[in-house]
Amino acid sequence: MDGTFSGSGFSTRAIHVGSAPDPTTGAVIPPIHTSTTYKQDGVGGLRGGYEYSRSTNPTRDALQAALAAVEQGDAAFALASGLAAEDVLLRAAMRPGDHVVTPDDAYGGSHRLFSRVEGPWGMEMTPADLSDVDAVRAAVRPGSTKVVWVETPTNPMLRIADIAALADVAHEAGALLVVDNTFASPYLQQPLTLGADVVVHSTTKYVGGHSDVVGGALVVRTSGGADDAAGGELAEQIAFLQNAAGAVASPFDCWLTLRGLKTLAVRMERHCDNATVVAEHLAEHPGVASVLYPGLAGHPGHELATRQMLRGGGMVSFRVGSPEAAAAVVESTGVFTLAESLGGVESLIELPARMTHASVAGSALEVPGDLVRLSVGIEDAPDLVADLDQALERASAVPGGSQR
């Protein structure tokens, strides 16, 4: 055998693509290439195309190859953060005066980027309920809308959007369908296979998986879509901005993210196992008014989620009746850590209205004050349930809490 990669399974791709043994030493883990510059064999004589590490770097190339493989895309780009990736994409796909349709419960950081960074630059935005295809179609402005921006599941309300149907809506209007796949991860959902043109990730979250690296990524489809030439041009423009704007992921961050990607499948299975146990328990708890989890049969998007996601995911949100009770819950846990972010091996709990989504308070995207968001980790499920039970017990004394 010549050692050529030939596997097709998700974990095989995640572990092996971009990670061939080092040809010089035989090292099975790619080295971290920290060099900023590369010796030229005469003027313009580049070895492997490497000149300067903002432009290209072997460790970043390894991560990008792996990300493209697991998302079944044609080109991937690693950026310094998820928001850096979003900014690069919007500037690559849009011009001042262009319009984007966004979720009406988008991640607060994305909404801030759209409204306060891209807005003054000239981008126009219309929020819509992405679980309602007709509402999205009504929000599209033919000739002006260049991007339909999708989160599924959404953050933090965990609504589910029909990727294939929204791809049709976007393409009918000559727009791109962009899917933020951070919550689902490439293991649970692969939007490019459902008609999306671009996938966005905060690789800080499930892809990295250990709360120790900040990063973002774009994965682009340049073949098999409605307009292959346009996909290729978009990839070229993203590559240009990755270098020209310079918000690239560092070699060490790329190496950490690539390491995390190798175990994504096994981690996501445990995240999903635990989230299911937690969601089912909370759904029966008298101190909980409602539970939002796509893996529950009672979730309004459950049937769609079962079609386009492998499992329900590791995120669970629930409501407890009052902002005061919600604050008491998040401040009373011991195994769940009160912190922003998500997707790490440890379980996190937060109050979106006052934390991750505080920037949208008073807007159409404001989230309920009694909503608690969980990033369910990979600890032992009975310990997670017991921790939430004791926190809900403490919150039960707070006026306004749920009394089901």
Answer whether residue 401 shows pLDDT above 80.
Answer: no
Cβ pair 284, 360 in contact under 8 A = no
Cα 145 from Cα 137, distance rounded (Å):
11
One-letter identity of residue 34:
T
Cα 210 from Cα 202, distance rounded (Å):
13
Answer whether residue 92 shows pLDDT above 90.
Answer: yes
Cβ pair 101, 145 in contact under 8 A = yes
The CA distances from residue 349 to 290, 317, 326, 388, in Å, are 16, 10, 11, 10
Considering the chain, what percentage of its residues have pLDDT values greater than 90?
88
- 52 carries an active-site annotation: no
One-letter identity of residue 388:
L
Answer whether residue 7 shows pLDDT above 80.
Answer: no
- 107 carries an active-site annotation: yes
pLDDT of residue 223: 77
Q: Which of 87, 104, 107, 137 is catalytic?
A: 107
The model carries a pTM of 0.94
Answer whether residue 402 shows pLDDT above 90.
Answer: no
Asked which of 19-23, 71-75, 257-261 is least confident by mean pLDDT, the reply is 19-23
pLDDT of residue 403: 54
The residues that bridge with 371 in the sheet, in sequence order, are 319
Place of tokens 């996190």: 348
| Confidence band for 404, pLDDT divided at 50, 70 and 90 | low
Strands of the sheet with 348-350, listed across from one edge: 290-292, 315-319, 371-375, 348-350, 337-338
pLDDT of residue 330: 98
Tokens encoding 391: 């926190």
- 146 carries an active-site annotation: no
Q: Which of 13, 137, 146, 205 is catalytic?
A: 205
Tokens encoding 49: 């195309």
| Confidence band for 191, pLDDT divided at 50, 70 and 90 | very high
Q: Which of 38, 54, 259, 394 is catalytic?
A: 54
- 205 carries an active-site annotation: yes
If you average pLDDT over every residue of the chain, what do you get? 94
**What mean pLDDT is predicted for residues 24-28?**
92
Q: Which of 104, 180, 253, 387 is catalytic?
A: 180
**What mean pLDDT is predicted for residues 194-210?**
98
3-state secondary structure 171-240: HHCCCEEEEECCCCHHHHCCHHHHCCCEEEECCCCCCCCCCCCCCEEEEECCCCCCCHHHHHHHHHHHHH
The CA distances from residue 9 to 2, 6, 13, 21, in Å, are 20, 10, 6, 19
